[in-house]
Amino acid sequence: MSDRYAVFGNPIAQSKSPDIHRLFAEQTGQNVNYQRQLVELDGFNQAVVEFFASQGRGLNITAPFKLEAFALAEHLTQRAETAGAVNTLWLNEHGQLCADNTDGVGLVDDIVRNQGWPLKDQRVLLLGAGGAVRGVLQPILQQNPAQVVVANRTAEKATALAASFAQFGPITGCGFADVDGRFDVIINGTSASLAGDLPPINTSVIHSTTACYDMMYGAEPTVFLQWAKTNGCTKLADGLGMLVGQAAESFSIWRGVKPEIKKVVKILRDQLA
């Protein structure tokens, strides 16, 4: 009998997690049954309890439940505690609900290993100050960048977020209009691309070798990546690799084996095309 896993969200029909984990299971010879589950907005805690009570082995959590999962967990990894949100749940040998946040690992692995863009000693601009950015800040700072600047429509939110991560490295926050100077790496962590929108950033942040990354992805380049290319960037990547990378980290936590990422990214990219 297959071990049961699932991704909880609302909405959830768009999730590629079942496809990704099916490919991981085939690649590593694991007997896994992974499904999507639409969870009512007021029913998250009950759904988690029922899932594990019926012999479920592990959960991925997506919007809008990452904060509720954080609050529900009995044991948090250090990176989950720092992020203040979680995307991976499982039970330990004592029956305690454990939680991790694998988003940052997925992002950094994709940027540094798959794209070959160093973060060490680089000036990094992060657009947005929501949960997506909060989840990746510590792993980025652990790469020892020269500076991380968090820019957001509401400057106070960016400043507060930066202050809460100051212990991990050189980081500041500001409003979009106050971004100053050029950057080596620019990461769009806003959801603007989903609406075909663009964060209001001046083109002066780009120089000839700037690398631009959008956490969103699609069959066509996002509006942010189109903007970057128009303004001279040649190093461009979307968030598909991050999606697969964070899933691989979850799979490794649950199954004790780390799947190979690049083959899965290629399959999904071909499907999108």
Task: Locate 91 and state its tokens.
Answer: 């039970």
Does 130 belong to an annotated binding site? yes
Single-letter residue type at 111:
I
Does 208 belong to an annotated binding site? no
Among residues 66, 120, 263, 266, the one annotated as catalytic is 66
Does 213 belong to an annotated binding site? no
For residue 168, the model assigns a pLDDT of: 96
Is 258 a residue of the active site? no
- Give the mean model confidence (pLDDT) for residues 86-91: 97
List strand residue ranges (DSSP E) for 118-241, in order.
123-127, 147-152, 171-175, 185-188, 211-214, 235-237
At 174, give phi and psi (nearest 5°). Answer: -160, 175
For residue 208, the model assigns a pLDDT of: 87
Does 16 belong to an annotated binding site? yes
User: In which band, very low, low, confident or very high, does the pLDDT at 3 lie, cut at 50, 70 and 90?
Assistant: very high
Q: Which residues neighbour 263 within 8 Å (Cβ) at sequence distance 6 or greater?
A: 23, 27
* Whole-prediction pTM: 0.93
Does 96 belong to an annotated binding site? no
User: In which band, very low, low, confident or very high, does the pLDDT at 251 lie, cut at 50, 70 and 90?
Assistant: very high
* pLDDT(195) > 80: no
Report H helices in 17-77. Answer: 17-28, 44-53, 66-72
Q: Are 265 and 240 in contact (CB under 8 A)?
A: yes
Q: What is the pLDDT of residues 206-232, one digit of tens each?
A: 998 999 999 999 899 999 999 999 999
Q: Are 216 and 239 in contact (CB under 8 A)?
A: yes
Does 239 belong to an annotated binding site? yes
- Give the mean model confidence (pLDDT) for residues 180-184: 96
